[in-house]
Amino acid sequence: MKKKPSFSHMGWMLTPVALIALVAGCSKENSAPVPEAKAQPKISAITTATFGRDSKDEGERLFGKECAFCHVGTSTGSFMLNRRLPDDQKGNADLNKRSDLEADYVKAVARNGLVNMPAFSKIEISDEDLDKIANYLARKKP
């Protein structure tokens, strides 16, 4: 029997966060309505598209193939999560840099989807590969 994932600890992500009214800080290049300093650090679209693909760490490689294009750099996942992060954590939405992710939580979100993130089927990511991705994201960061 599979354990049903619990969403109780996802509370902070699901609550609509007060919207940032500070649109004024936008320049043409970085027009996210998040104050400049609090936006995600800019990396090139090519880096986002190929992150982790040739990594020696299998977990990172799989994260690169399945997740990074949305969750690293200037892309949808990081962008949406950055909006939800509390003020003092803004700019740190990339999943590979987060130090608060637990493996079970990563797996539950991948399988069920969350808000605007679609669910991943077992064909797209096998349970085995998802374990590796989840462990990679939950690893102790230096």
Partner 1 sequence: MTSILPRGVSDASFNQALSEFRAIVGNSAVLNSDEDRQSYIDPYAMGDGKDHDSSAIIAPASTEEVQAIVRAANKYKVALWPVSRGKNLGYGTASPAEAGNVILDLSRMDKILDVNEKYAHCLLEPGVGFYDLFYHLQEKKLPLWMSVPGNSWGSVIGNALDRGIGYTPYGDHCEQICGMEVVMPDGEVIRTGMGAMANSTTWQNYKYGYGPSWDQMFMQSNFGIVTKAGVWLQPEPEMTAKVDLAFAKFEDAEWAIDILADLRRRDVIQHNIVFGTPVRAASTMSQRADWYEGEGAIPDSVCEEMMKKLGLGWWNARISLHGHEGVVKANADIIRKALEPKMGKELEFQFWAKGEPMEKAAQGVPTTMGLNCVNWYGGRGGHLGFSPVLSADGKIAFDYAKKVKSLYQEVGQDYYASFTIGRRHINNVGLILYDRDDETTLNRAKKLIDMLLKEAASRGFAEYRSHISYMDAIGDTYDYGNHALRRLNNKVKAALDPNNIIAPGRNGIGSRK
Chain residues binding partner 1 by CB under 8 A are: 2, 16, 19-21, 23-24, 26, 28, 31-33, 44-46, 48-50, 53-54, 65, 69-70, 74-76, 79-80, 83, 111, 113, 115-124, 126
DSSP, residue by residue, 28-87: SSS--SS-GGGSPPP--HHHHHHTTTT-SSHHHHHHHHHTHHHHSSSSHHHHHHHHHS-G
Q: How far is the CB of 2 from partner 1 (least distance, A)?
A: 8
Q: How far is the CB of 24 from partner 1 (least distance, A)?
A: 7
Q: How far is the CB of 132 from partner 1 (least distance, A)?
A: 17
Output 14 or 99, the one with its CB closest to partner 1.
14
3-state secondary structure of 141: coil
Output 31 or 99, the one with its CB closest to partner 1.
31
CB 65 within 8 A of CB 59: no
Residue type at 42 in one-letter notation: K
